[in-house]
Structure 1
Amino acid sequence: MSSNLPLKENRVTHAGTSATLAAFVANPPSIPTSALEDARRSVLDGLGSLLAGSVEPPARIVQDLVRDLGRADDASVFSAGRASAAGAALANGVATHILELDDIHKGSTVHAAAPIIPAALAVAEREHLGGAAFLRAVVLGYDAALRIGEAVNPSHYRHWHPTGTVATFGAAVAAGALMGLDERQMLDALGTAGTQAAGLWEFNASGAMSKTLHPGKAAMNGVMAADLARRGFTGAPTILEGPRGFFVATSAVHDARRVTTGLGEVWKVSENGYKLYSCCGHTHTAIDAALSLRQEHGWNADQVLEQVREVRVATYGPGWDIVSELNPRTPYQAKFSLAYVVSAALLEGAVGLTQFSEDRFGPSGVIQGTLARLLPRVRPAVSEELTAMYPAAWPARVEVELTNGQVLRAGGDFPRGNQENPVSTAELEAKFRALVEPRLGAVAAEHALTLVRTLEDIPDLAVASANLNALCQGVRHE
């Protein structure tokens, strides 16, 4: 008799990883205040990257595309009007990832803000929901994405960009939570999200814009997955653990227990990390070490060039695969060059947006004078010892050999901004202002900060987002 039952009837009793996760996010326990506060920090940090990135060329291209996709008025496309919820999620997701300053979770290697926050915000606007529901959805979306990321990391990372793949599940969960999907609908949403999950690392060879597209599509696909599920569109009920599912298809080794262990007890948003440098997160521990050496010895650029014979940087294998460019020809390649960012840290004491200006690079590589002189002396290499520590740690060791033969050493296992090496909310707000004010003005920056601080008091995010977007566009709306 069971063979004649509809597929949906059979799936309800399935007890696999996908169904367990769907049941949890559709019927979560009370979320602790600490997790909600950590979600607020993630929103603060992600919104800063979104607003600042919204005026960059890749964002403008996608905003133009979204306008051509239709004339819906569901949600804000920051700095560029309004669009459908899916379209706004796409455009805002791309914008959030452009400056390489959005958050990073160590265990999963996922930038969760760029896909999840735009998806949640777009749906919250369309559904006229308040800030409290939005924050709750962000917590659930992070939990799903980061747990799935941990289950497939690190082998998944060899070919796949997790921010485009596993975060599609997180965006679907956040959107589905705001739509009030029940357990069965949420399982459908996960199934549809998983079959859309994509994002290949091949773009890194040329510095193509694909990396920013990945979180945008994850956000868009997550919204679509939840919308389809609400309409009765079915998805694979074993999308994660099935014999042709996500785990098997995208990783050489996986641990499904990472998805379900501690559900409702450990909230992954509270493990989130924040980036202080405008480049790939795999370089940040080495940057910290280089900056500490520069500060400790009081060097300026001339002294570094006079005194430093060689700089040896040890890192871990999966990170090195992404940051191995030795003489970048473009700002984008420089963001993925361990040698370049360590050189910048030693010479200039900063690795911010200024260090990636166009005038520093040419067809043959770095052309900025001091950097071009130091760069050949920087010798990065993979350490098997450090590789064994990843992804639980993101370690680096820096040795600076001076012309007098002295060797100076610094290093760490966790970059600043990680849970183990945290930054304060005040530091994140300072980062927010530094990103947003030069691009959109002090009024828009302070308005956005107030919005984040008072999220739970906002009854309708559609109104709040529209008012912020008006300031971002230089237009005053009543």
Structure 2
Amino acid sequence: MTDTVSIRPTGAAPADEPRAIDQITRHLTTTRFEDLPAADVELAKWRVLDVIGCAFGGASIDGNAELLDLLQTWGGAPQSTVIGHGGKLPVHHAALINTMMVRANDFEVMTFWHDGVRQPAHNSASTVPTALAVAESRGLGGRDVLTATMLGDDLAGRVALSSDWTFYLGPDGLGTLVPWGTTAVAGRLLGLDAEQLRHAFGLMVNMMAGTVQDYWDGSHAIKLVQGTASHTGVMATELASRGWTGLSDPLFAEYGYYKVFAQGCKNPGILTEGLGEHYFGEVVFKPYPSGLPTHLPIDCALALHHEHGVRAEDVDEVVIGLTPPNLKNYYAKPYEIRDWPHGDAAFSFQYTACTALLHGAMSIEHFTEDMIRSPQINELIARSRIEPISAGRDGGAEVTVRLRDGRELTVWKPYAKGDEANPMTEDDILAKYRHQVEVTGIVSAATAERVIETVLRLDQLDDLSELTALLSDASAGATR
């Protein structure tokens, strides 16, 4: 007689207890808007506004126009609005291109906190465009969008916290974590029941992809993975709504998510603890359009420029001091301009710190190809280097300038603007939004102001027609 072995992956519930996936899908399909904490709902509106502003800011970044042209060439049912450009595409394609525009400048709200520890995340860049596209296609309203995005962000956050995963393992979390959020969003808005949603998650696991090599190589695929997370969420849920089946347990199956994509589950309890009581949502509204680790050196460089009067022509050397984890990060690789200059610049400690020092500012206009290739910035970068942070520093980052008159100045920052200890205010978020509209000209200033007013009363909209009309009200054309 052949022995049989029952395999239960680490973290899976005992056979007589509800599985985590069943508790999650029940929660996702039964939670009402009225059940959501009011303060979290208000924060969710600001995430929607920030994401829309970043879509305006990224509408014409290279790569996006080419993708939009491809999607328009393919055609299909005109279901959902293309933000800033006008016109409509099939819902999955609208979610894809709108997400790509949001992520184009790496400027959108991200990251949340758990027990005092920062958890990197890029959920809103996908969950918000997915929600807007699906809700528009179904004639749903603002409360539906807010409920879906809060549920999706929360699930993506819980899966991230439970996963025994880091960027240094290779898979890109944008492709393996964010789809949990977008699938929850789309499934909720499509009205899937708990069993259909479980199948949707099982299908979604089969579409996961992404590698952090994109960041080392500085390729367009950095933002592609963000877009495909949105596309995947829509596709998986549409298939499930039509009877397709997926993994029985997408999380804990022997070859499910944790085994194949996450190196295991380190905290299974976080998947269901406080479900419906606490919502993990992103809170770091970024002041600068570059990878978050660059923001500390940027702040140091801005202080040298504004508080100490340092000017690039007076600088002999720039030294960026980093903690050990950041020294091995892709941001610390030697700066060079390769196939996609924007990707090289936005994810470089040297480019971002030197640009802030040179211009005394840092925003989307500093990442045009002309700006990236300018002799002035490249001469300063050539006089910069990266080294370990000074002994005795408790984290943070520092920038030291050695001046031609013999002086040496150092600024150290323990945390960056936008961090929990120094958050962006509502006025800061609005200024960031308006500046992107001003630089790109993708919509008129008047339209941009109406978008603000409309998003901040999103919960009062019975359908999205008022908002989508504004989002498609393109001006004469973007200036970038």
Take 1:278 and 1:374, find their aligned partners in 2: how far apart are those partners? 20
Shift of the 57–379 alpha-carbon distance from structure 1 to 2, 3 Å rule, reads: closer
Q: Would you say the 8 A contact 1:168–1:193 is kept in 2?
A: yes
Secondary structure of the structure 2 residue equivalent to 1:379: strand
**Amino acid of the residue matched to residue 91 of structure 1?**
I
Question: Which structure has more helix as a fraction of its residues?
Answer: 1
1:456 aligns to what?
Answer: 459
Note the alpha carbon deviations across 1:428-449, whole angstroms, 9 max, x for none: 1111111123322213312221
Alpha-carbon distance, 1:85 to partner: 1.1
2:87 aligned with 1:75, yes or no? no
Report the counterpart of residue 221 of structure 1 in structure 2: 232
Aligned pair partner of 2:45 in 40, 49, 54? 40
In structure 2, relative to structure 1, the CA distance for the partners of 1:57 and 1:446 (3 Å cut) is same
Aligned to 2:427: 426
Q: Distance in 1 between matches of 2:202 and 2:296?
A: 37
Q: Deviations over 1:427-471 (max 9, x none)?
A: 11111111123322213312221221221221111x224412441
Aligned counterpart for 1:114 among listed residues 115, 119, 125: 125
Asked if the contact 2:100–2:227 (Cα under 8 Å) also holds between the matched residues in 1, the reply is yes
Matching residue of 2:115 = none
- After superposition, give the CA deviation of every residue in 1:170-199 in whole Å (9 maximum; x if it has no partner): 001111122232222222222222221212
**CA positional deviation for 1:148:** 1.5
Offset at residue 14 of structure 1 (A): 6.8
Distance in 2 of aligned mates of 1:244 and 1:272:
33
Instruction: Please tell me the residue identity of whatever aligns with 1:267.
Output: Y
Separation in 1 of the partners of 2:297 and 2:331?
A: 12
3-state SS, counterpart of residue 408 of structure 1: strand
> Identity percentage over the alignment?
28
Residues 209 and 309 of structure 1: CA distance in aligned 2, closer, same or farther (over 3 Å): closer
8 Å CA contact retained: 2:320, 2:397: no
CA distance in 1, matches of 2:388, 2:211: 23
Q: Distance in 1 between matches of 2:272 and 2:402?
A: 47
Please name the residue that 1:101 is paired with. Answer: 107
Q: Distance in 2 between matches of 1:262 and 1:467?
A: 38
Once residues 471 and 286 of structure 2 are traced to their aligned partners in structure 1, the CA distance between those partners, rounded to angstroms, is: 25
Could you tell me how far 1:17 is from its partner in structure 2?
Answer: 3.2
**Is 2:218 the partner of 1:207?**
yes
Q: Deviations over 1:397-434 (max 9, x none)?
A: 43445564645241224x32233321112211111111
Aligned to 1:6: none
Greater mean alpha carbon deviation, residues 313-322 or residues 202-211: 313-322
Matched, 1:136 2:147: yes
| 1: CA distance, partners of 2:462 / 2:201 | 28
Cα drift, residue 42 of structure 1: 0.6
Q: Is the 8 A contact 2:398 2:410 kept in 1?
A: no
2:96, 2:227 within 8 Å by CA — same for their partners in 1?
yes
Q: Does 1:84 align with 2:86?
A: no
In structure 2, how many angstroms separate the alpha carbons of the residues matched to 1:384 and 1:353?
31
399-408 or 234-243: bigger deviation:
399-408
- Show the counterpart of 2:277: 265
Alignment partner, residue 351 of structure 1? 362
CA RMSD in angstroms comes to 2.9
Sort the Cα spacing of 1:126 and 1:360 in 2 relative to 1 into closer, same or farther, 3 A.
closer
Q: Which residue of 2 aligns with 1:4?
A: none
Displacement after TM superposition at 1:309 (Å): 4.0
Q: Give the C-alpha shift of residue 219 in structure 1.
A: 0.6
Alpha-carbon shift at residue 121 of structure 1 (Å): 0.7
> What residue is the counterpart of 2:8 in the other structure?
none
- 1:312 equivalent among 310, 320, 345: 320
- Structure 1 residue 376 displacement after superposition: 3.6
SS in structure 2 at match of 1:312: strand
Secondary structure, in 3 states, of the residue corresponding to 1:380? Answer: strand
Amino acid at match of 2:270: R
User: In structure 2, do the counterparts of structure 1 residues 381 and 248 end up closer, same or farther at CA, with 3 Å as the change threshold?
Assistant: farther
2:5 alignment counterpart: none
Q: Which amino acid aligns with 2:454?
A: L
Mean CA deviation greater in 277-286 or 256-265? 256-265
Residue identity opposite 2:67 in structure 1? V
Three-state SS of the structure 1 residue aligned to 2:330 is coil
Contact kept in structure 1, 2:451 and 2:467, CA below 8 Å: no
2:455 and 2:467 in contact (8 A); partners too: no
Between the aligned partners of 1:192 and 1:64, the Cα distance in structure 2 is 28
Q: What residue is the counterpart of 1:7 in the other structure?
A: none
Q: Does the alignment pair 1:66 with 2:71?
A: yes
1:368 aligned onto 2:369: no
- In structure 2, C-alpha distance between the alignment counterparts of 1:261 and 1:289, rounded to whole Å: 39
Q: Choose from 287, 302, 305 the match for 1:291.
A: 302
* CA distance, structure 2, for counterparts of residue 156 and residue 248 of structure 1: 16
Q: TM-score, normalised by structure 2?
A: 0.85
8 Å CA contact retained: 2:176, 2:261: no
Contact 2:176/2:208 (<8 A) preserved: yes
Q: Which residue does 2:20 correspond to in 1?
A: 17
Q: What is the match of residue 471 of structure 1?
A: 473
Per-residue deviation, 1:383: 6.6
Structure 1 residues 249 and 456: alpha-carbon distance in aligned structure 2, compared to 1, 3 A threshold: same
- CA gap of 1:337–1:346, structure 2 versus 1, over 3 A, is same
Greater mean alpha carbon deviation, residues 287-296 or residues 80-89: 287-296
Q: CA deviation at 1:144?
A: 1.1
Kindly provide the amino acid, as one letter, of the partner of residue 444 in structure 1.
T
CA distance in 1, matches of 2:154, 2:15: 22
Tell me, in whole angstroms, the C-alpha distance in 2 between the residues paired with 1:323 and 1:110.
17
Asked if the contact 2:25/2:198 (under 8 Å) is kept, the reply is: yes
The one-character-per-residue Cα deviations of 1:222-259 (angstroms, maximum 9, x if unpaired) are 01122222223222132222221222222345423333
TM-score when scaled to structure 1?
A: 0.85
